[in-house]
Amino acid sequence: MNDNQQTSPIDFTIIFIVLAFGIISCYTLYTVDPYLGVGDQGSYMKQIVWYILGSIVAGVAMILDYDRLHQIVWGLYGFGLTALLMLFFKFPPGLVHYSGGAWSWFKLPGIGTIQPSEFMKVFLVITLAHVIVKHNEKTRMKTVKTDLKLLGKLMLLSVVPMGLIAVQPDLGTFLVLVSITTFMILVSGIQWKILLSIVSSVLVVIAAVATTFLFNITKVTTFFEESVFAHVDSRFYGWLQPEKYELGAGLQLIKAITAIGSGQLTGKGPGNFEVMVPERHTDMIFTAVSEQFGFVGSSIVVTLFFLLVYRMIQIALESNDAFGSYLIVGVVGMIAFQVFQNIGMSIQLLPITGLPLPFISYGGSSTLAYMLAIGLVLNVKSRTRSYMFE
């Protein structure tokens, strides 16, 4: 009698949740379509196409043995880095696309805009997981020196794409890469005394920056306004004092809060919008859900995200392979932070950044990247075996 057996190869819970997200996304985009500008109308039809393509991508990612990623990991990382470098140097001029105050896209004929940073998130997850596994395989005796070496590798691999994305400038995606790196460092096996020392140092730096800002507001403001991070300065003030900047940086936040609050318990009903929120089909799509379906509808969306993250964590814990577990941890860090940031910025919990709500906001690059990540999670699940007498 075999001492192990293959668990169910398909995780229907995750598939059901992603399917629910797809329905919510396409339906919400359909209801907001009449209120969008001419160039943005029809986004729900495009989103359906992106979901179909994303399903194919997820299917391929699920079928291929994820262990083969070890063989192509540096190719993926190099490809993502090359795309970011091309955006940095604005090369080639005819394809690099400027929008929303950032050089973050390629505009391809017949396809539309592609945002390389979305795929870099997944490539970074794969790269860091590979490095952690290979380092731990080679390190028999863990010491402070070996842990610092691993930490250095992870930071170096993360800082390069972070820097290229920050100067686009794209603060939102930069923070997602920070989240991915943080999650993976926490589970990498590095001693906690090292991690606590780093956390303490970061807190000291944050306190120093906050103190500098409070006592030198004019100088700090001038510094930001004269740098590529000028948008950070305006968004920060728009977050802290939206009423004071209601005709500028605070407008989007005021509109978002008004729309969410006006939905009350059960919402105004499908297609009934009274508050016009900028970027409602992309970064602010949560306001559309809340205004139409109220607290009940928005709670369902939040619950689905919670169940998705919870299920992914379960699969990571059940996996018999360290590489598979690290892959899922990176995906959890990517999705969980984006959900927290997107919803948080819609209710003034956090400053507004250009981050879409995973699986729901309109966007081809983001949808394909999320579906690729889900395909990796399903791949790990399909290759997890349960053993008797564990």
324: nearest Cα among 125, 186, 166: 125
pLDDT over 90 (residue 136): yes
318: nearest Cα among 7, 76, 1: 7
Both structure tokens of 288: 């559309």
Bond from prior residue into 242 cis (ω within 30 degrees of 0): no
Residue 305: CB atoms within 10 A of its CB come to: 21
387 exposure class (CB count in 10 Å sphere: 0-12, 13-18, 19+): exposed
Alpha-carbon distances, residue 240 vs 113, 181, 205 (angstroms)? 33, 28, 21
β-pairing, 4-6 with 102-108? unpaired
d(CA 160, CA 283): 26
Name the residue with higher pLDDT: 328 or 217.
328
Whose tokens are 């795309």? That residue is 83
Q: How far apart are the first and last CA of the chain?
A: 16
According to DSSP, the residues that pair with 386 across neighbouring strands are: 5
Per-residue model confidence (pLDDT) at position 389: 47
Condensed to tens digits (0 to 9), the pLDDT of residues 304-357 reads 999 999 999 999 999 989 999 999 999 999 999 999 999 999 999 998 888 999
Per-residue model confidence (pLDDT) at position 227: 62
Condensed to tens digits (0 to 9), the pLDDT of residues 71-130 reads 999 999 999 999 999 999 998 888 999 887 889 999 988 888 899 999 999 999 999 999
Condensed to tens digits (0 to 9), the pLDDT of residues 140-193 reads 888 899 999 999 999 999 999 999 999 998 989 999 999 999 999 999 999 988
Name the residue with higher pLDDT: 78 or 237.
78
| Confidence label for 267 from pLDDT (cuts 50, 70 and 90) | very high
| Confidence label for 263 from pLDDT (cuts 50, 70 and 90) | very high
pTM of the model: 0.92
Q: Do residues 22 and 52 lie in contact, with contact meaning Cβ atoms separated by under 8 Å?
A: no
Percentage of the chain modeled with pLDDT above 90:
68
Least confident of 14-23, 126-135, 378-387: 378-387
Per-residue model confidence (pLDDT) at position 231: 62
Per-residue model confidence (pLDDT) at position 132: 97
Average pLDDT over residues 288-300: 96
pLDDT over 60 (residue 390): no
pLDDT over 50 (residue 2): no
The residue type found at 292 is Q
β-pairing, 112-114 with 385-387? unpaired
